[in-house]
A and B are shown apart, each in its own frame.
Chain A
Amino acid sequence: MAFIQSFGAALPPRIVTNQELAEMVGKTPEWIRNVSGIEERRWAHDGASVIDLAADAALNALARAGRKASEIGILLVSSGTWERQFPGPAAQVAARLGLEEVPALDIPVASAGGLFALVTGSELTRSYGPALVVASELMSRVARRALGESGTSVLFGDGAGACVLDPERGVARVVGHRLASDGTFAGDLALGFEQPLSMNGRSVILQASRKIPRVIRQVLERWSLRPADMAAFLMHQANQNLIDRIADALEVDRGLFFSNIRHYGNTSSASLLIAASEWADQGGFEKGQRVCMAAFGAGFHWGAALLEGC
């Protein structure tokens, strides 16, 4: 069993509006909003790194948990936009936080990475003690490789999210989860080193529209729960139209799905934890209330987790 103690986030200060981006990509601001629900996103400055954002989000989550980095027993870092094949960013994030001889695990599975890291961390707290989960992305670097050539470049933004997990106490319990992967369509959403993003949008939407509601139902049914029993849904913020579609498929009010995509765009693996952090700021967990997390991304990798307020 594991407990969530806090969420945290870090976002670059520079806001890039649809108006600014539309001129760069040859679209209208309204077109961007209609196809995605996005109105603005954050872009980090050229000298920023995945490590910088990750460390800021981690410190934010630690402060909210009232914990010192030295209390952390294991670090998990998700990033799909890290610039080097190896080592991944986890060891450097650990060093930045002053963690010594603490295992630092990279989870490079793109958009589902925040959820995969949180679930993996929740299982490892029993062996390693408090876990720090971070997801950090510089998606603007990817988007800018194909500005004007691809409609997908308007979707992405930069940011990082984090979560502190503890084996014994917290504001919510991780009740259950289910993660899944299927490489059949791996080429339909892929990013090579220094390459533009390759995305078959129809395939991604088709697969996500089927897999996300199904995995949510699978997790809830295991605990004899229905989607309508949830107080909130926290999703990977990929596209507002997709989030609405998932709500409709589960036959729950769209308002139960927390959304901040209009402000930050799709920040890949970071988006789930950034959304959770903002949702927590607006009230967060109440005792006995159930919350469902879900994510889907390249691979394809997807999953869901059931949380219950303590």
Chain B
Amino acid sequence: MDKQARIRSIIRQVSKKQVEVAPDESLFDSGLLDSFALPDVVSAIEREFGVSIPDTDLNPRKFDSIERIEAYLETR
């Protein structure tokens, strides 16, 4: 499974919704995630990709879309 598909799977699990979003579409503005779901997304990303995300990287904009999450993971 490619990285975007793995991120998409995480979003589905956390949101408990099967709604499809475009890779560049905001996960929040689309209504898929709310503020309280974001910590769960970050924790799930850490587990799925085996990374530890420092608090200083926890800018919500980095996790606003599938493309942005993928771009952040490319820097790790």
A residues engaging B (CB < 8 A)?
A: 182, 184-185, 200-203, 205-207, 209-211, 241-242, 245
Query: Which B residues lie within 8 Å of A206 (CB)?
Result: 35, 38-39, 42, 58, 60
CA of A242 to CA of B38, assembled, Å: 12
Given contacts A203-B58, A206-B58, 7 further A-B contacts (CB under 8 A): A182-B55, A184-B56, A185-B59, A200-B60, A202-B35, A203-B60, A205-B36
Interface pair B60/A211, CB less than 8 Å apart: no
Interface of chain B, helix or strand or loop or mixed?
helix
Which residue of chain B has its CB nearest to the CB of A244?
B36
Is B72 on the interface with A (CB-CB < 8 A)? Answer: no
Closest beta carbon of chain A to B15's beta carbon, Å: 15
Interface pair A205/B39, CB less than 8 Å apart: yes
Query: Which A residues lie within 8 Å of B35 (CB)?
Result: 201-202, 205-206
Interface pair B55/A207, CB less than 8 Å apart: yes
A-B contact pairs, 20 of them (CB 8 A): A184-B55, A184-B56, A185-B59, A201-B35, A202-B28, A202-B35, A202-B38, A202-B60, A203-B58, A205-B36, A206-B42, A206-B60, A207-B55, A209-B36, A210-B39, A210-B58, A211-B55, A241-B36, A242-B36, A245-B36
CA of A140 to CA of B58, assembled, Å: 30
Which residue of chain B has its CB nearest to the CB of A203?
B60
Query: Which B residues lie within 8 Å of A242 (CB)?
Result: 36
CA of A134 to CA of B38, assembled, Å: 34
Known: A202-B28, A210-B55, A211-B55. A245 touches B60 (CB 8 A): no
Contact mask B38-76 → A, CB, 8 Å, 1/0? Answer: 110010000000000001101110000000000000000
The B5-51 residues at the A interface (CB cut-off 8 A) are 28, 35-36, 38-39, 42
Query: Which A residues lie within 8 Å of B58 (CB)?
Result: 203, 206-207, 210
Query: Which B residues lie within 8 Å of A185 (CB)?
Result: 59
CA of A241 to CA of B39, assembled, Å: 13
Query: Which A residues lie within 8 Å of B42 (CB)?
Result: 206, 210
Interface pair A205/B56, CB less than 8 Å apart: no
CA of A269 to CA of B59, assembled, Å: 25
CA of A216 to CA of B55, assembled, Å: 16
CA of A206 to CA of B28, assembled, Å: 14
CA of A41 to CA of B7, assembled, Å: 40
CA of A209 to CA of B40, assembled, Å: 9
Closest beta carbon of chain A to B33's beta carbon, Å: 9
Known: A209-B39, A245-B36. A203 touches B55 (CB 8 A): no
